[in-house]
Amino acid sequence: MALTDTTIRNAKPGDKPLKLFDGGGLFLLIAPTGGKLWRLKYRFDGKEKLLALGAYPDVSLKKAREHRDEARKLLADGVDPGANRKAQKAAKRASAADSFEVIAREWFARFAPTWAETHSSKVIQRLEKDVFPWLGSRPIAEITAPELLTILRRIEDRGALDTALRAKQNCGQIFRYAVATGRAERDPSGDLRGALAPVTHQNFAALTDPKDVAELLRAIEAFRGTFIVKCALQLAPMLFVRPGELRTAEWTAFDLDKAEWRYLVTKTRTEHLVPLPSQAVAILRELHALTGQRHNVFPGRDQRKPMSGAAVNAALRRMGYDTKTEITGHGFRAMARTILHEELHFKPEVIEHQLAHKVPDALGTAYNRTRFLNERRIMMQQWADYLDRLRAGAQIVPIGLHTN
């Protein structure tokens, strides 16, 4: 007779395993411990086999019969239900191994060591917050362009247009990595060209009029904040490196006797050399007496870490400058680039090399840290001297001999 739920609930375990048959090979195995397990007995290629269908009541009588009927259909088609289940489990494991998150983290682990720490942390945080929760478990080969667009639109809807574009770029890199490693056929992010709202990037605020620069330099000279921040303020316009590179500078990278500072550029991870003018060496020697025994040139409140990324801009605001419209820590680079070319008439390629920008040469070299080194040494000293004269209020007469 066919089983009923009442029969199953009332069935008691015995000293030996007990089988209650339902028909078609389906039976309930009641173990001496009380467990009730569904089993399906069938024959394939002349051999008797057994298929586990789960435990009662997690798998109800109705569900167990559905599993039996599905298995019988497979048998009718010449398919072994047990082998079919193993194949499905293997496919699920393979799918999980090739999920978007697994491949994304593999891609990140491979390439992140070549990036700046600030960049790599932003990339993984962006993926963990905005992409993995929705796409992470999906097989990467099955993700479509509309599916990816839905994720990016969600980011756009909160007003983070730049984040949406960067997330699209990161996803594209991950898809292309999957293609290169044989886990996907194509990169669907390429189909989304023009689908996201464009982002208008504003240039960093900068002062480029020598009169305004002179006032700023005098304000820095009169700054009454901490000595460490004041030194950073004095060196920022003089050396015009990226703000993050200045504030995270390490003493081991400086050779004050040779008047040189060597470090890895945060964006490109290439070596960069900054010739130090005599004024910068004097500031650094004075600062060395205070922080020279520490790792960082500009330590923060936590002496083991560099000063805050907001310290220079906060100091500029304290001096009365609007960091959105007048000057930012990054704006010193635009200031130097403009005045060095327009007022002091240095060649653009010399300036660009000192800014650590990629400037292809005749040999196709993207950046050469020693290129134009003599010209850059001259330029950096003349630039520091020029700033001194501006701060003192002297009349500035550009010198053009170095352009020959």
Residues with catalytic roles: 242, 267, 330, 333, 357, 367
Q: What are residue 29's DSSP bridge partners?
A: 19, 37
CB count within 10 Å of CB 143 equals 20
Interacting residues of 188 by C-beta distance below 8 A, sequence separation 6+:
143, 144, 145, 147, 148, 175
3-class secondary-structure state, position 299: strand
Q: Which of 163, 305, 319, 175 is nearest to 236 (CA)?
A: 319
Q: Which of 151, 119, 160 is nearest to 132 (CA)?
A: 151
d(CA 281, CA 262): 14
Residues in the chain: 404
Six-digit token string for 90? 């293997």
Cβ atoms of 113 and 75 closer than 8 Å: no
- Looking from the CA of 255 toward its CB, the CA atoms found within 13 Å total 8
Q: Which of 368, 367, 377, 371 is nearest to 402 (CA)?
A: 377
Q: Which of 184, 157, 190 is nearest to 172 (CA)?
A: 190
* Phi, psi angle pair for 207, to nearest 5°: -95, 130
Residue type, 304: R
Q: Which of 287, 242, 279 is nearest to 386 (CA)?
A: 279
d(CA 79, CA 257): 81
3-state helix, strand, coil in the chain (%, to 5): 50, 10, 35
Residue keyed to tokens 């009730």: 36
Cβ atoms of 67 and 53 closer than 8 Å: yes
